[in-house]
Structure 1
Amino acid sequence: MQHISTTPFGRRTLDAGLMAARQLAETAVPDRSIDKYKILTALTQARAAFRVTDRDLAVLSALVSFHQDRELGGDDLIVFPSNAALSERTHGMAESTLRRHLRALVQAGLILRHDSPNGKRYATRGSTGALRVAFGFDLKPLVIRADEIFAAAQAACEAAETLRRLRERVVLQLRDARKLIEYAQEALGINTDALDDQQRLLSRDLRRKLDQDEIKAIAQQVSELLTHAKSLFPNDKTEEMNGNVVQNERHIQYSTKSLYESEPSKKMEEPEPSAPPRPTDDRDLATKLPLGLVLKTVPDLRDYAPDGIKDWHQFVGTAAFVRGMLGISEHAWLEACRIMGDVNAAITVACMLQRAEHIAKPGGYLRSLSARAADGAFTPGPMVMALLRAENVKAA
C-alpha cells in the first residue's frame, strides 16, 4: 500500500499549519468535480479571507495549469512541475520567490505538499503507462474546501457592494455640503473658510483606498459637516433665496446701452422723495443693475476714487485698481474679465472689497467664481442683493 508523506523534506520542521494540512490530507475527496477556473476566480475574490496575495494566486494558477483536465476531482490531483517549469509559467519568477509563495499556499491550506524521499518532484508509471505514484503538490484542498471558498467569495462581493454604496452616499453628501458652503460664501457673504477647509480634507481622504470602518468614520464626519452647512441657511431665508435670487440670477442682463455709458450716481445718492432707495422686488434686476444701486451696495469702493465714480468706465477702472490691494493677481483679474465681462468682474471685485474681512484668499475666491461663471452658474446679482439685505438689516 502506498504511503503518502505529509512531513517536510530536509531542515523544514513541522508547525501548526503543516499539522492542519496533515489532517486535510487524510480527508477523503468528495465525489464531485470543480471547474478549476471557477475556483481560481472565487479565490481571487476571497483572497483576503484566506490571507493570500495576488502573487500567491498567480503561483497557484500556474500549479493548476499543470493539471490536464478542466475539472478537478477524483484521486489524480497531484501535480509535480519542476521549479524551472513553474518559473516559466509565472513569467520568469525567481525560485526563491516561488518557494515563498508555495509556502504561503500550503499554510493557507489551499494545497498540500507531498515530498519524495529526496525532496524532488516526480512521478512513476506502471508498464501500462498509468500513474503509480507522484510526489509534488496536491490540489485536493481546492475540491474539499470548494463550498467554503465559494461562500467566502460571495461574502466578499457583498461586502464590496456595501462599501461601494456607503462610499457613494458619502460622496453625494460631501458634494451637497460643498455646494451649500460655496453658496453661503458667495450669496450671503458668510465666512465659511473653516468649513471649506474641512470639506477639502475629507475629499482628500476619500481619494485613498479605505476599508469599511474608515469609510464609516468619514461618513460620520461628512454627515456632521452637511448638518453644519445646512444650518447656515435659516428656513425663511432659504425659501427666499431658492425662489427669487437663484431663479432671477439666470435672467440678469444689462440694457442695450453701452456697458461704459455714463449713469450718474447722484440720482441714487439724492433720491426724490417718492423714489425708493432700492428695488422693491428682485425681479427688477432682470432688466439691469443700475450704477447707483451698485455704488450704494459697495460704498467702500468710493474711497479709492478721489474724483468720484460717475460711469461704468470709472467703476471698472477703480475695481481694477482695488484688485491689486486685495491681493488678486493681474492674471486672475483678466481671466475674470474675459469670462464674466469687465462690468460683471468689476462688480464682483467691489462686492469682495465690501466683505474683505470675511474672505481669506480673494485671488482664489475670484478664480473659483470665474470658473463657475464659465459654466453659467454665477453672476454678481445675488452678491449685490445679499449686501443690500445686510445693509437693510443694519439700518433697521
Structure 2
Amino acid sequence: MEYTPISPFMRPISHAHLSVIETPEGSPPGKPINKWELLRELSKAQAAFGVSERDLTVLQGLLSFFPDDALGGNAEMVVFPSNKAICERLNGMPCSTMRRHLGRLIDAGLLVRRDSPNGKRYVRKYGDERVAFGFDLSPLYCRSEEIGRAAEAVREAENRVRRLREVVSLMRRDLAALAEFGEQMQPSLGLWDQLRDTAALTARALRRKLRLGDLEQYREALEALLDQARNVIDGPETEEMITSDVRIEHHHHNSNKESLEFERGLEKGKEAGGVPDDPTGTPETSVEDLDRQPKPKIPLHLVTTSCPSLKTFYDGEVRHWHQLFDAACHIRPAMGISSSVWEEAQRCMGPEQASIVVVAMLERFADIRSPGGYLRALSAKAAAGEFSCGPMVMALFGRRSAA
C-alpha cells in the first residue's frame, strides 16, 4: 500500500496513533510464530499487558479469521471481519461488549485499526497489490518475544510460590509432630500448645492463595518455632554430651575386633606421619567436623524414637549426632551400601543427614530393593537441593504413632 493512514474513522486522533500505527512496539522476531501458542503465552502474561480473559477471548476470535496458523512471513496480517461476524464467532457476545474489549486490546498495543475511508473493513486488489482495511495483528507478532519473556517470568514466580508453599506445608506438619512428641517428653510445658495452635493456623492459611511475601513470613515464623522446639527437646542432653570424656568415648566406643584393629592402624599411621586408608570405606569425619557443621532441623530424639530398629542392630548408645554417625557407619556395610555410595551421600547431604537417611532406610529395609541405589538417588536429589530427611522421619514417626 502506498500510504498508511494514521487517523481513525470518526474518532479523535491521539499520540497513541502517531506512535503505534507506523511503528508498532517491539521488533519482528524474523520467523513465523504459531498464533495459538502466542495466544497461550499472552494468556499466561496477561497481567503484564493489562488485559483480561474476556479481552483475550475477543483476540482469539480475531485470530480465528486469520487464515494461516503462523503469524509472520510475507503474509499481510490484517483481518477484516464485520462486527456481526466477530460476535457470531464469540458465541453471541453483545456488540457493545465486543467493541469495549477491542478497545482495550488496541490500548494495550496488541492490535492496530487500519480504517478505510468510509470506516468499512474489506480487502481490495489492484493488480498484484492487495490492500486490506481492518485489524492489523502485526503488533502482536512484533511483541512476541516480549510476551514470551513475560510469560516465562510468570512461570518462574509461580514455581517459587509453589515450592515455598510446599516447604511451609512440610514445616507445619513437622511442627504438629514435634508438639505431639514433645508433649510425651515434657507434658507440662506450654510451648507444645503454641506449636499446635501455630500449626492449625498455618493449615487454615494454606487453604487460601497466598502471595510470595506471605509465604516467606510463615516460613520464618515456623523455622523459629522449629528451632525453639528442637532446642527444648534436644538441648539439655546435647550440652551434657559435649565434654572431653564423650569425645574420647567416641574414638574408643566400638569394642569389636575390627574397630580396635582400625584404631591401632590409625595410631600407627599418625606416628609415621601419614593417614592410613579406611578399610571400611567411610570418609574420615572427625567429631570436631561434625560439631562445626550445621545440625539438621529435626531433633535427634525424634530420629531415634522413630527408628527403633537401630537398637536391634547397634549396641551403642545414641544420644548425640556423632554417635548416630558412628551407628550409621557400623550398619551401612550390613545393609549392602558400598563405601563410594556412603561417601557420596555424606558429600551431598552432610554426615548428620546422611546418617539419618541410613537409619530411616534400616527401618524400612524390607521394602527397599536396592539400598545402595536408593541412597544414591537421594544423594542426587540432595545435590540438586530437592531433598530433606525430615519427611522420611515424620512418616516413620506417624506410622509408629498409629500402630
- Relative to the length of structure 1, the TM-score reads 0.55
Q: 2:222 is matched by which residue type in structure 1?
A: V
Query: Which residue number corresponds to residue 147 of structure 2?
Result: 149
Q: Does 1:179 align with 2:203?
A: no
Measured at CA, do residues 97 and 5 of structure 1 come closer, stay the same or move farther in structure 2, by a change above 3 Å?
same
Deviation, 1:247, is 4.5
Query: Which residue number corresponds to residue 323 of structure 1?
Result: none
Deviation, 1:90, is 2.0
Measured at CA, do residues 376 and 140 of structure 1 come closer, stay the same or move farther in structure 2, by a change above 3 Å?
same
Q: Does 1:72 align with 2:71?
A: yes
Distance 2:5 2:178 in 1: 69
Q: Secondary structure at the match of 2:177?
A: helix
Distance 1:53 1:79 in 2: 22
1:15-34 matched pairs, under 5 angstroms: 15=14, 17-25=16-24, 31-34=30-33
- Cα deviation code 1:271-307 (max 9, x no counterpart): xxxxxxxxxxxxxxxxxxxxxxxxxxxxxxxxxxxxx
Query: Which residue number corresponds to residue 5 of structure 2?
Result: 5
- Relative to the length of structure 2, the TM-score reads 0.54
Equivalent pair of 1:115/1:135 in contact (CA under 8 Å): yes
Distance 1:18 1:228 in 2: 62
Q: Secondary structure at the match of 2:21?
A: helix
Distance 1:160 1:114 in 2: 38
Q: 2:401 is matched by which residue type in structure 1?
A: A
Equivalent pair of 2:29/2:144 in contact (CA under 8 Å): no
How many residues in Structure 1 have an aligned counterpart in Structure 2? Answer: 253
Deviation, 1:107, is 1.6
The sequence identity of aligned pairs, in percent, is 39
1:194-343 matched pairs, under 5 angstroms: 194-236=194-236, 239=300, 243=304, 247=308
Q: Does 1:86 align with 2:86?
A: yes
Query: Which residue number corresponds to residue 401 of structure 2?
Result: 377
- Cα deviation code 1:74-102 (max 9, x no counterpart): 25110011222222222222222212221
Measured at CA, do residues 219 and 13 of structure 1 come closer, stay the same or move farther in structure 2, by a change above 3 Å?
farther
Q: 2:45 is matched by which residue type in structure 1?
A: A
Q: Does 1:136 align with 2:160?
A: no
Deviation, 1:68, is 0.5
Q: 1:212 is matched by which residue type in structure 2?
A: L
Q: Secondary structure at the match of 2:123?
A: strand
- Cα deviation code 1:366-395 (max 9, x no counterpart): xxxxxxxx976258xxxxxxxxxxxxxxxx
Deviation, 1:241, is 6.4
Q: 1:170 aligns with which of 168, 171, 177?
A: 168
Q: Secondary structure at the match of 2:149?
A: helix
Measured at CA, do residues 15 and 198 of structure 1 come closer, stay the same or move farther in structure 2, by a change above 3 Å?
farther
Unaligned runs of 5+ in 2: 238-298, 310-397
Deviation, 1:230, is 2.7
Distance 2:234 2:85 in 1: 72
Deviating beyond 6 angstroms after TM superposition, the runs of 4 or more aligned structure 1 residues are none
Unaligned runs of 5+ in 1: 249-373, 380-396
Distance 1:14 1:44 in 2: 29
Deviation, 1:45, is 2.3
Q: Secondary structure at the match of 1:113?
A: strand
Moved more, 12-21 or 85-94: 12-21
Deviation, 1:139, is 0.5
Distance 1:201 1:116 in 2: 62
Distance 1:15 1:223 in 2: 55
Measured at CA, do residues 29 and 150 of structure 1 come closer, stay the same or move farther in structure 2, by a change above 3 Å?
closer
Equivalent pair of 1:123/1:131 in contact (CA under 8 Å): no
Q: Secondary structure at the match of 2:135?
A: strand
Measured at CA, do residues 99 and 227 of structure 1 come closer, stay the same or move farther in structure 2, by a change above 3 Å?
farther
Measured at CA, do residues 241 and 58 of structure 1 come closer, stay the same or move farther in structure 2, by a change above 3 Å?
closer
Distance 2:131 2:52 in 1: 31
Q: Secondary structure at the match of 1:377?
A: helix
Query: Which residue number corresponds to residue 117 of structure 1?
Result: 117
Q: 1:154 is matched by which residue type in structure 2?
A: E
Choose 1 or 2 for highest CA Rg: 1
Q: Secondary structure at the match of 2:233?
A: coil
Equivalent pair of 1:199/1:225 in contact (CA under 8 Å): no
Query: Which residue number corresponds to residue 367 of structure 2?
Result: none
Equivalent pair of 2:5/2:114 in contact (CA under 8 Å): yes
Q: Does 1:48 align with 2:47?
A: yes
Deviation, 1:52, is 1.9
Q: Does 1:60 align with 2:56?
A: no
Q: Secondary structure at the match of 1:110?
A: coil
Query: Which residue number corresponds to residue 302 of structure 1?
Result: none
Q: 1:46 is matched by which residue type in structure 2?
A: A
- Cα deviation code 1:52-90 (max 9, x no counterpart): 222222211111111101121225110011222222222
Equivalent pair of 2:25/2:143 in contact (CA under 8 Å): no
Distance 2:75 2:142 in 1: 12
Q: 1:138 is matched by which residue type in structure 2?
A: D
Distance 2:153 2:27 in 1: 27
Q: Secondary structure at the match of 1:135?
A: strand
Q: 2:66 is matched by which residue type in structure 1?
A: H
Equivalent pair of 1:52/1:105 in contact (CA under 8 Å): yes
